[in-house]
Chains A and B, each alone.
Chain A
Amino acid sequence: AQTVTQSQPEMSVQEAETVTLSCTYDTSESDYYLFWYKQPPSRQMILVIRQEAYKQQNATENRFSVNFQKAAKSFSLKISDSQLGDAAMYFCACIIQGAQKLVFGQGTRLTINP
């Protein structure tokens, strides 16, 4: 069975600074997909970034990038130039090839200090 672990319940960063959120996962499969979702107080889960396990190149989306270390089963999210609107819960999730359910971590609450 897959597991996803986020070891940082809370993180804070100064506006305009860079912050990295950690995520590790465990699966015996070699083909899978990894995601970071953002959940603001409105409850809507918003996709931030995704990574295919077969791709060696780290995904980037504007100010968001990942550090994907397949051998270490690590998938951290880096947010550059943090903005007040980035404040939210962030969830790491994994889905294995052929399965249909996302497995989520426990989440990290990110606070942006003005």
Chain B
Amino acid sequence: GAGVSQTPSNKVTEKGKYVELRCDPISGHTALYWYRQSLGQGPEFLIYFQGTGAADDSGLPNDRFFAVRPEGSVSTLKIQRTERGDSAVYLCASSSGLAGVGNTQYFGPGTRLTVL
């Protein structure tokens, strides 16, 4: 596809449930990033993949959050035992190379997660 896609667009779940959020990056982009955007705030970094491996997961808030990218393309963000505080928009971005040498991150439309 032309851009980063994320599914589902919206997800409503109950406290304690497990959720998976999917990100499909721009074709050929090797770097993939997840951010979380709480209401009225700027996005905050969660995790970064270069290829299949999580190169930096320092932004994951706790061990209920986990992300994978098994084939170096699509990534899934997994949240166990969801809490109301996990409600936010989860944004995915990709770049053709390392962002730290100036490659631009292109964002998807996000998944709005609501935990009741």
Binding site for B on A (CB under 8 A): 4, 33, 35, 37, 42-47, 50, 52, 91, 93, 95-107
- New A-B contacts (13) at CB < 8 Å, excluding given A46-B107, A107-B42: A37-B107, A43-B89, A44-B107, A44-B109, A45-B43, A50-B104, A95-B100, A97-B101, A101-B33, A101-B45, A101-B48, A102-B33, A103-B45
Residues on the A chain within 8 Å of B40, using CB: 106-107
The smallest beta-carbon distance between B23 and chain A, in angstroms, is 13
Residue of B nearest to A54 (CB): B102
Residue of B nearest to A93 (CB): B42
Question: Is B102 a contact of A52 with CB atoms below 8 Å?
Answer: yes
Residues on the A chain within 8 Å of B12, using CB: none
Residues on the A chain within 8 Å of B33, using CB: 100-102
Interface size on B, residues (CB 8 A): 30
Known: A52-B102, A98-B100. A104 touches B42 (CB 8 A): yes
The smallest beta-carbon distance between B88 and chain A, in angstroms, is 11
> Number of contacts between A and B (CB, 8 Å)?
67
Residues on the B chain within 8 Å of A47, using CB: 104, 106
Question: Is B102 a contact of A101 with CB atoms below 8 Å?
Answer: no
Question: Is A104 a contact of B43 with CB atoms below 8 Å?
Answer: yes
Question: Is A44 a contact of B108 with CB atoms below 8 Å?
Answer: yes
Residue of B nearest to A99 (CB): B100
How far is A101 from B109 in the complex, measured between Cα atoms in Å?
A: 18
How far is A37 from B74 in the complex, measured between Cα atoms in Å?
A: 24
Q: Among A45, A52, A100, which residue has its beta carbon within 8 angstroms of that of B98?
A: A100
The smallest beta-carbon distance between B42 and chain A, in angstroms, is 3
